[in-house]
C-alpha cells in the first residue's frame, strides 16, 4: 500500500516535473520577451565608448527625464553648476549645493561624471583677476582648482581643465602659432595659465583624466593652432590626457573629413579624444558661441529629421572607426527642450522625450553599418 502510494506520488511528481520542465522554456521565453527591451544607445555602444549627456541633474528634472538619463547614458557632464561663475561666486564663498547633489545622484545611479570646467574666459567672476597681479591670480587659480577637484577626488573621472583658450577664425599666419584668446587669464598670467591649471588639477586628483576642450578645433587654422598648443604641453611634460572636440554642428554643415583627420592627428600625439558637447542643429547657425540662431521654433519636417539622422549616423561611423582613441561621446543636453539651442531641435529626444529618427540611426550605425561608412563620404 505504502509502496503504491509512494509510486503514485512519485509518478505525479515526475509528471509535474516533466510538465514544468517542458513548460519552462516557454515560460522563460515569455519572461524574456516581457523583460527584453530594444537596447539603448549606452548598451549598444558599451564596448566602444561612453555615451554621455549634459545637465545640472537631478535639479528640476522630471521623473521621466531622469529615467531617460538612467536608461540611455553612462556619464554626465554638469552643464553649468561646476563652472567657476556659479560654484565660486566670491573669493571667500563657494556654492556646492547643486554640484554635490549631482555627484550624489550620479553616484547613487552608477553613472560616471566628467567635470566641466575649471578655467574659462566665460562664466567666470571678475574677482579672479582683481588687481591683475600675477602671483595673486596664480594663487586664486590654484586655490580654485585644488578645492574643487579635491572635493570630488575619486568621484569625478575627469575634468575639462581649460576650455576654449584658442581664438576664433585664424589664418595661414596664426595657424603656425597657438593663437590664444586674449582672455583675462592670458592677460594676467600669459600662456602659462594653461600648464599651471593642468598641474594644479593633477596634484589635486592624480587619477583624473585631464582634458583640453574647445569648439571648431577640428578644422582649419584653429585645428593647426590646437596642434601647436598641445605639442607645447606634451613637450613640457604637462599632465594632459585628452582633447575634447565640442561638436556643436548643424545638419547642413558637419566637417566630416576634418573630424576624421583631427581625431587621427590628436591620436598621433598620444592623446585620447572625446566628443564633449555634441549637438547637430536642424536649422540656424551652430558653433560654439552662444546667442546665434535661437528662437527658430518651426517644427522639423520629416525630411529635416531624416537629414539630421543621416548626419548623426555619418558622425558615429567616424567615432566607431576611431573607437580605440575615442573615450566618450557626450550630447550637450537631454532633449530638444533641455538644450542651449532651443528651437533648433539638435538632440536625440524631442521635447516630449520621444526618440527621434537620429536615435535609431545611431544604433544602426553600429549594428548595421553601411558599407564603407567608416570613411567619410
Residue nearest to ligand XIL (CB): 340
Rounded least distance, CB 130 to ligand XIL, Å: 24
Alpha carbon separation from 341 to 80, 124, 254, 338 (Å, rounded): 15, 21, 16, 8
Please state, as a whole number, how many other Cβ atoms lie within 10 Å of the Cβ of residue 299.
Answer: 10
Rounded least distance, CB 333 to ligand XIL, Å: 7
Q: Does 79 bind ligand XIL (CB under 6 A)?
A: yes
CA 197 to chain CA mean position, Å: 21
State the Cα–Cα distance between residues 276 and 193, nearest whole angstrom. Answer: 22
Which is closer to ligand XIL, CB of 230 or CB of 365? 230
State the Cα–Cα distance between residues 328 and 314, nearest whole angstrom. Answer: 17
Q: Does 288 bind ligand XIL (CB under 6 A)?
A: yes
Rounded least distance, CB 262 to ligand XIL, Å: 17
Q: At what angle do helices 256-268 and 220-235 cross, to 10 degrees?
A: 10
Which is closer to ligand XIL, CB of 40 or CB of 163? 163
**DSSP letter string, 40-71:** PHHHHTTTT-EEEEE---STT--HHHHHHHHH
Q: Does 296 bind ligand XIL (CB under 6 A)?
A: no
> One symbol per residue from 241 to 270: x for binding ligand XIL (CB under 6 A), - otherwise; what is it?
-----x------------------------
Active site residues per annotation = 164, 277
Which is closer to ligand XIL, CB of 103 or CB of 363? 103
Rounded least distance, CB 186 to ligand XIL, Å: 17
CA 125 to chain CA mean position, Å: 25
State the Cα–Cα distance between residues 285 and 178, nearest whole angstrom. Answer: 26
Cell of 291: 546667442
Q: Does 290 bind ligand XIL (CB under 6 A)?
A: yes
Note the helical H segments in the chain.
2-35, 41-44, 63-72, 84-87, 97-108, 134-151, 184-189, 193-204, 220-235, 256-268, 302-321, 357-367
Which is closer to ligand XIL, CB of 18 or CB of 290? 290
Specify whether the CB–CB gap between 39 and 71 falls below 8 A. Answer: no
- Among 287, 340, 343, 364, indicate the residue that binds ligand XIL (CB under 6 A): 340
Q: Does 163 bind ligand XIL (CB under 6 A)?
A: yes
Rounded least distance, CB 101 to ligand XIL, Å: 17
CA 44 to chain CA mean position, Å: 16
Specify whether the CB–CB gap between 115 and 160 falls below 8 A. Answer: yes
Interface with ligand XIL in residues 177-216 (CB under 6 A): none
Which is closer to ligand XIL, CB of 333 or CB of 376? 333
Judged by CB under 6 A, the number of residues near ligand XIL is 8
Q: Does 279 bind ligand XIL (CB under 6 A)?
A: no
Which is closer to ligand XIL, CB of 219 or CB of 320? 219
> One symbol per residue from 4 to 43: x for binding ligand XIL (CB under 6 A), - otherwise; what is it?
----------------------------------------
Q: Contact positions toward ligand XIL, by CB under 6 A?
A: 79-80, 163, 246, 277, 288, 290, 340
Amino acid at each position: 500500500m505504502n509502496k503504491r502510494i509512494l509510486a503514485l506520488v512519485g509518478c505525479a511528481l515526475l509528471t509535474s516535473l516533466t510538465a514544468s520542465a517542458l513548460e519552462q522554456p516557454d515560460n522563460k521565453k515569455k519572461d524574456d520577451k516581457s523583460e527584453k527591451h530594444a537596447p539603448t544607445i549606452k548598451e549598444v555602444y558599451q564596448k566602444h565608448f561612453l555615451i554621455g549627456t549634459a545637465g545640472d541633474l537631478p535639479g528640476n528634472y522630471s521623473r521621466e527625464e531622469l529615467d531617460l538619463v538612467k536608461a540611455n547614458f553612462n556619464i554626465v557632464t554638469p552643464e553649468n553648476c561646476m563652472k567657476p561663475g556659479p560654484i565660486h561666486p566670491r573669493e571667500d564663498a563657494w556654492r556646492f549645493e547643486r554640484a554635490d547633489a549631482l555627484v550624489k545622484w550620479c553616484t547613487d545611479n552608477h553613472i560616471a561624471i566628467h567635470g566641466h570646467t575649471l578655467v574659462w574666459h566665460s562664466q567666470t567672476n571678475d574677482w579672479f583677476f582683481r588687481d591683475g597681479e600675477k602671483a595673486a591670480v596664480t594663487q586664486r587659480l590654484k586655490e580654485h582648482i585644488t578645492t574643487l577637484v579635491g572635493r570630488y577626488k575619486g568621484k569625478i573621472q575627469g575634468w575639462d581643465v581649460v576650455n576654449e583658450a584658442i581664438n576664433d577664425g585664424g589664418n595661414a599666419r596664426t595657424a603656425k602659432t597657438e593663437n590664444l584668446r586674449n582672455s583675462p587669464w592670458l592677460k594676467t598670467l600669459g600662456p602659462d595659465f594653461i600648464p599651471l591649471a593642468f598641474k594644479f588639477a593633477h596634484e589635486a586628483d592624480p587619477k583624473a583624466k585631464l582634458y583640453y576642450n574647445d569648439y571648431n578645433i577640428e578644422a582649419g587654422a584653429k585645428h593647426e593652432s590646437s596642434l601647436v598648443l598641445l605639442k607645447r604641453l606634451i613637450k613640457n611634460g604637462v599632465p594632459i590626457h585628452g582633447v575634447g572636440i565640442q561638436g556643436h554642428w548643424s545638419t547642413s554643415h558637419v566637417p566630416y573629413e576634418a573630424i576624421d583627420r583631427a581625431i587621427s592627428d590628436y591620436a598621433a600625439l598620444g592623446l585620447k579624444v572625446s566628443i564633449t558637447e555634441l549637438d547637430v542643429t536642424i536649422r540656424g547657425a551652430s558653433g560654439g558661441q552662444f546667442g546665434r540662431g535661437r528662437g527658430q521654433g518651426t517644427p522639423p519636417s520629416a525630411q529635416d529629421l531624416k537629414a539630421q539622422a543621416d548626419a548623426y549616423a555619418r558622425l558615429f561611423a567616424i567615432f566607431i572607426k576611431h573607437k580605440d582613441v575615442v573615450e566618450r561621446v557626450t550630447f550637450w543636453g537631454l532633449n530638444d527642450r533641455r538644450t542651449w539651442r532651443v528651437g533648433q531641435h539638435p538632440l536625440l529626444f524631442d521635447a516630449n522625450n520621444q526618440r527621434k529618427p537620429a536615435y535609431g540611426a545611431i544604433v544602426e550605425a553600429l549594428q548595421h553599418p553601411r558599407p564603407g561608412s567608416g570613411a567619410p563620404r
